[in-house]
Structure 1
């Protein structure tokens, strides 16, 4: 089997490639940096520039599955121009893949796209499943909705469509966890707002394993890429502090302070989504880091 990955050099792509190669799967990847193009027997890079619709069609040679992870980070101040980049980097890349597969000979049978739990409305009480259809009225909710609609277009090409709605990714290098660790390490960490909002998190290893599960078993549809045990922001902050053996003595950080510092992007820190991974558990998916304590011990010790 051969898999083509976009966004291969990001957090999730890097971890997924390790799992694929370990299981004897050949990997092609698309990159916007010519310097990152590789040419190994089992790992080949190809250039694309979605902003001008350029793509090396050889990337699709003998590819069975496309994993689409490309997209500009949301963890950067949301100016109007950057909000447009967040949306375009998801919609335009997806459209370019679709248009290319629609005109070339290929053997692609499945596309698996990253998505985000930000599509679910902010709620302190509701537990969200893949079958829930409500969309959050925020900028991020709108982005994810448009992104998923573009992915659904691949059904017209008789390609199996899978979407992984990703939660808060905990990783050793980069990602949200390392940003949360910084203030706690120097003694100025604190929960945000009431601290009661839910954060549905996932260890980077388990997230990559979910993508592999969907590839291996040819699963279509939506999957929530989250641990079975979501926690509140206060619980997460306290667990990080405990793992690092650091005290938390400051009062909670008010929402208006973070809004002043981060602008509209502050929503990322205060939005509450209690998201279920029951669908994966029902398919006998095995989480290696289901509990937060085990995940943090692995990543921070």
Structure 2
């Protein structure tokens, strides 16, 4: 099968590329700059100029759209928020425009979204795919992102929208940022520590993506989160245990995080339960059932 992946140098896409190439698929990446890749062919694109290199879509059966500026990479200035928004909406719009002109269109379009779609609710609330969207910045971004993806479904392609939670990986992301202060013996829960972390091991996530690709019955939104979400305080303890480090500091006060991070502090201070029942009902099985099992796999020092 020939597969096209956007955001090919990102955390999830790099793992997905490795998995699909190992299964014998032909993988192509869309990148802003050309580079040599051991297991994929790289095609250039320029979202602002509306350009995608000729041949990128030839014989492509599935497109994974994973491109988008990192939400937690920088403080949310007005300009950074525009970059986060435009990188998702404009890229999806460009893909729609180019695929609308194809005589032979891909069979499936799998477009990343995020559990930020639901906004921030009471910690005890469980969101399902039928929940309404939130009203904050990230909810606005994901809602508009999914609306652009829905237009691609109108072209006759099967559309899957995995709403991704906190991805646990050894190549960066939230887990590595949380592990760094623990490694330096200054780790502590954030805010109240009661906020819920809807985690997923990156290996489970990319196998889930493969599941969506191969199962023609899957369509629409799916909460791409692992089983048994845990609190921020519990996750911090799990990280410290896996790294054989003590936790002795009190919680980092919410007002300090708001002062340092500004509006972006909502990412670490808020969080409610998100259900993955729809994914389970689709026939997908998780390798990592508990957060401590996933964290130990990634961070254990032996």
Q: Per the shorter chain, which TM-score range?
A: over 0.9
In 2: Cα distance, 1:37 partner to 1:158 partner: 33
Map of 2:140 onto structure 1: 142
1:45 to 16, 19, 42: 42
In 2: Cα distance, 1:103 partner to 1:177 partner: 41
In 2: Cα distance, 1:243 partner to 1:28 partner: 36
Deviations 1:225-274 (A, max 9, x none): 11011001111011111111211111111111011111111111012131
Matched, 1:14 2:11: no
Secondary structure class of the residue paired with 2:154: helix
Map of 1:157 onto structure 2: 155
Comparing 223-232 with 105-114, which one deviates more in the overlay? 105-114
In 1: Cα distance, 2:32 partner to 2:56 partner: 13
Secondary structure class of the residue paired with 1:286: coil
| Contact 2:99-2:105 at 8 Å conserved across structures | no
Map of 1:57 onto structure 2: 54
Instruction: Please tell me the root mean square deviation across aligned C-alpha atoms, in Å.
Output: 1.2
| Contact 2:119-2:138 at 8 Å conserved across structures | no
Secondary structure class of the residue paired with 1:17: helix
Structure 1 residue 182, shift from structure 2 partner: 0.8
Structure 1 residue 113, shift from structure 2 partner: 0.6
Moved over 4 A (4+): none
1:122 to 89, 97, 120: 120
TM-score, with length taken from structure 2: 0.95
| Contact 1:206-1:289 at 8 Å conserved across structures | yes
In 2: Cα distance, 1:111 partner to 1:137 partner: 26
Map of 1:287 onto structure 2: 286
Pairs within 5 Å for 1:130-279: 130-132=129-131, 134-218=132-216, 219-279=218-278
Which structure carries more helix by proportion? 1
Structure 1 residue 293, shift from structure 2 partner: 1.4
Number of equivalences:
297
Give the unaligned 5+ runs of structure 1.
Answer: none
In 2: Cα distance, 1:163 partner to 1:290 partner: 22
Secondary structure class of the residue paired with 2:246: coil
